[in-house]
Chains A and B, each alone.
Chain A
Amino acid sequence: DIQMTQSPSSLSASVGDRITITCRASQSISIFLNWYQQKPGKAPKFLIYAASSLQSGVPSRFSGGGSGTDFTLTISSLQPEDFATYYCQQSYSSPYTFGQGTKLEIK
């Protein structure tokens, strides 16, 4: 199985900050990398596919990058509604594994 490792596991930041979350795959996955946002008690919300393509309706302050084994999710200016847990997911090969999550908290 391909292992996905996110860092950091948790992050404290303020409204207006720029933050970056990293996701590393245990082997090359090209750009088969998707990102999700999950708020407490809710299902995950799909944000980004193919490493850097924004889902329709997702604010442009979200961006993704990377290829191969190293990927990033950046939020350029944090808004109150962005505080949540973020997951990466590889879809290069089955089983389609997720990272362990990064919890973004208000400082």
Chain B
Amino acid sequence: QLQLQESGPGLVKPSETLSLTCTVSGGSISNSNYNWGWIRQPPGKGLEWIGYIYYSGTTYYNPSLKSRVTISVDTSRNQFSLKLSSVTAADTAVYYCARPTGSYNWFDPWGQGTLVTVSS
């Protein structure tokens, strides 16, 4: 059974780069049937799709974040990562990694989420 687990700093200073990693267990990240994504949720608010990476390496990003986001895969560690540059307080959120699945691209499974606070 595939499981995902986010990790990374819980506090990032404004203007710096937020870096998170999602470790995949129960399956190989290089499986050609798998794609990998990130979603975030500001405290008390709804869900925002950040983007995802296809097994081929092609990436799709939310246009509202595209200039600041990079998603990549590290097959040697069975991990994928999120980098968000030039962060502000508006980027404070719980960040989830999840797998876009099937022909209808639903997200399942999800990691447990990790809270990242942007503050000096």
Chain A positions near chain B (C-beta within 8 angstroms):
1, 31-32, 34, 36, 42-46, 49-50, 55, 87, 89, 91, 94-101
Of the candidates A31, A43, A94, A97, the one whose C-beta lies within 8 Å of that of B60 is A94
What residue of chain A has the Cβ atom nearest to residue B97's Cβ? A43
The answer to whether A98 and B104 touch (CB under 8 A), given A43-B96, A43-B112, A43-B113, is: no
Whether A95 and B62, one on each chain, are in contact in the complex, defined by CB atoms closer than 8 angstroms, is: yes
Please tell me the number of chain B residues within 8 Å of chain A, measured between CB atoms. Answer: 25
Whether B63 and A1, one on each chain, are in contact in the complex, defined by CB atoms closer than 8 angstroms, is: yes
CA distance A91 to B60 in the complex (A): 13
Whether B46 and A98, one on each chain, are in contact in the complex, defined by CB atoms closer than 8 angstroms, is: yes
Whether B107 and A46, one on each chain, are in contact in the complex, defined by CB atoms closer than 8 angstroms, is: yes
CA distance A24 to B74 in the complex (A): 38
Give the 5 A-B residue pairs with the shortest CB-CB distance, closest first.
A91-B105, A46-B108, A43-B110, A34-B106, A95-B62
Interface CB pairs A-B, < 8 A, 6: A1-B63, A31-B104, A32-B105, A44-B110, A46-B106, A91-B104
Chain A nearest CB, measured from B52 CB (Å)? 8
